[in-house]
Amino acid sequence: MKKYNLSILKIFKAFISLLLFSLIAPHAFAIETIEISGGGTKQINIAVMPYKEVGNDKANSLMHQIIAADLYRSGFFRPLEVNGLINKPFVLSEINYPEMTAIEAQVMTLGQFEINNNRLKVNWFLVDVNKKTILTTMEFSGPAAQYRAIAHKISDTIYEKLTGIPGVFSTKISYISKNKGRYSLNVADADGFNIQSVVSSPQPIISARWSPDATKIAYVSFEKKKPIIYIQSLVTGQRTVLANFKGNNSSPSWSPDGRRLAIVLTYNANSQIYLIDADGSNLKPLTQSTHIDTEPVWSPDGKSIYFTSDRGGRPQIYKVSSTGGEPQRLSFEGNQNLNPNVSPDGKILSYVTQDEGRFRVVLHDLQTGQITKITDGPFDEAPKFSPNGHVILYSHKVRGSGELSTVSIDGVVHQSFNIQADDIREPAWGPFAK
Amino acid sequence: MKKSLLLATLLSLFLLGCSSTPINDAPKPSGPSSSASDDEKDLDLASLRDPNNILSKRSIYFDYDKDVVKAEYKDLVAAHAKYVASHPKAKMTLTGNTDDRGSREYNLSLGQKRSVSVKKSMNVLGAQDTQIETVSFGEERADTNCKDDACYGKDRRVDISYEKE
């Protein structure tokens, strides 16, 4: 009982801290906007200087490392090597502009922070090196335990300031890990840190998908020796069975309004797509073929569902109205195409294409029909768009075990996650918190 | 803004304060069932176990991305179909499997397609749908270290199992 009270107290403290963190709104005043040539395809050279901890002689390097890693992973930035610089400014007056120009910095960020009574306060700047002007200056504060979250918030602010696109560094991802024969569905920060297990089982767990409001995850568990779909709340930890019909129950996909899911059922036949309300009621068939129809995903406007079908002999991507009707085939290149995912603006599909035995992630522009391979394989799986549509998170197999990686949608910047587990697979990217 | 604050707070409540939901395998029922001897007789369990009986063979293997039951398994399929047809109390599960190439959900469907393909072959020989459940494990039981088709081939199969055996 005591233990219970203690944890309530801890939760209450966390609540208050977060409240304060959010109430101290950042005071942003944009001074000027930097021009980015090439419409974002060219990377911005940024010098991320070590933020200095007040009252501590040496600059604490962790915060600027988190920010630099975030910005690098986005594909829009090239963080410069700053360790060799003689001058490491943390206030504006100390910036040595010729030195910054010499390392070809276009922008730089610098700042200082202090930790008092377990509270962290950061004062930071984003500076246009060529024009010698302040682009952004802000003060962020929060519980010291939110150190990484505050660093990601700074990354988000820098990213949005210079690209005009909301950053995704404060969002969450999920993935399935397998360790010593035990499967676990985990949630982590977008950079793979702060890992929390949501559910674990001795039997496989697959196909986890975030609800559009980020409070729930639907997933498939084999704990009853066959695939059954569950929905679990990330707020209370409570879970319910969404679908447990005869045969397989799998491949959940939330409608954009979160009220329904597309799921795949088999009964005693092949996989077919159904629609079901999030409370498990109102089951209706969507596709009715004698072939495999699976991996449904909704278009952001809720009008269409993309899916994988082998009705043409091999797995290919199809599109059908979410009210039913005749599906239309979309993928024609490659031996097999599967695992579709739609960009948040609905304009691009990403999926896995198999050619000459290699499984690679491609982007399929739905307006022009242009297809671009953005990974090299040989065993890449489960591509998922970031909530801002500019990065793809996917899994790939290396010597029998899976790892997670991101690739910018221009295919230029690849980054692997360093998560310790025997096997990691099936990533999903949580939405922006609304 | 208020809503986002509440959400962030609630999420943090769970993520900070809670531990994961651990699922464990249900313990196997222990002790002799009262009807064990009846099952033994009604289901002729001895012939399922007899290593010299074709019914002890339980796996049917497939080609890559295929669900066609090959000629070499006709006798095996026929023997199990005949067994199911002549033992009305028998309940069979056909579990489809695939190798680990391709997406997990597609492979789950492909494994299902294979178990359905075996079931249909058995239907033709008189085995009733009410006695058979088709499910799939997709690639979840596959060997993840395969380098050649001989290895992958072992994963592309349907396993036959019986209730109470």
> What is the H or E stretch that residue A112 is in?
strand A107-116
Instruction: Choose one of A100, A131, A163: the last residue of a domain.
Output: A163
Among A163, A185, A215, identify where a domain stops. Answer: A163
Q: How many domains does chain A have?
A: 2
A18 and A145 in a single domain? The answer is yes
Query: Which stretches does DSSP call E strand in A222-292?
Result: 228-233, 239-243, 249-254, 260-265, 272-277, 284-285
Question: In this predicted model, what pLDDT tens digit does every residue of B60-106 receive, in sequence order?
Answer: 999 998 999 999 999 999 999 999 999 999 999 999 999 998 899 99
Q: Considering the domain boundaries, does residue A6 fall inside one? A: no
Which tokens go with A106?
Answer: 């276009």
For chain B, domains (ranges, CATH) are: 47-162 (3.30.1330.60)
| A257 and A389 assigned to the same domain | yes
Shared domain for A52 and A139, answered yes or no, is yes
| Residue of higher predicted confidence among A25 and A352 | A352
Containing A317, the helix (H) or strand (E) segment is: strand A316-321
Q: Which of A19-33, A185-199, A394-408, B30-44 has the lowest mean pLDDT?
A: A19-33
Contact A339 B9 (CB under 8 A): no
Looking at the fold, whether A313 and A255 belong to one and the same domain comes out as: yes
Q: How far is A79 from chain B (nearest CA, A)?
A: 30
Does the residue A115 lie in any domain?
yes
pLDDT digits (tens, 9 = 90+) for A3-26: 334 344 344 444 434 443 333 333
pTM as predicted: 0.87
Query: Are residues A154 and A218 both part of a single domain?
Result: no
> A258 and A395: one domain?
yes
- Do A155 and A239 belong together in one domain? no
Supply the DSSP symbol for B91.
-
Same domain, A297 and A400: yes
Range of the domain at A118: 14-163
β-bridge partners, A170: none
Inside any domain, residue A434: no
Is A99 a domain residue? yes
Average pLDDT, chain B: 86
| ipTM computed for the complex | 0.85
- Best of A220, A292, A401 to disrupt the B interface (most B CBs within 10 Å) is A292
User: What pLDDT, on the 0 to 100 scale, is given for residue A328?
Assistant: 98
Is the pLDDT at A220 greater than 70? The verdict is yes
Flag if B16 and A19 touch (Cβ within 8 Å): no
CATH number at residue A207: 2.120.10.30
Using a CB-CB cut-off of 8 Å, the residues of chain B touching A195 are none
**Model pLDDT, residue B20:** 76
The stretch A359-372 carries a mean pLDDT of 97
Asked if residue A7 is part of any domain, the answer here is no
Interface check for A101 against chain B (CB to CB < 8 A): the answer is no
Structure-token match 């029922």, residue found: B29
Whether residues A418 and A351 share a domain: the answer is yes
A137 with A188, same domain? no
Domain at A137, CATH number:
3.40.50.10070
Please classify residue A429 by burial: count the beta carbons closer than 10 Å to its beta carbon, then call 0-12 exposed, 13-18 middle and 19+ buried.
buried
**B102 contacts on A by Cβ (under 8 Å):** 315, 336, 338, 352, 354, 359
Q: Which residue, A163, A192, A207, sits at the end of a domain?
A: A163
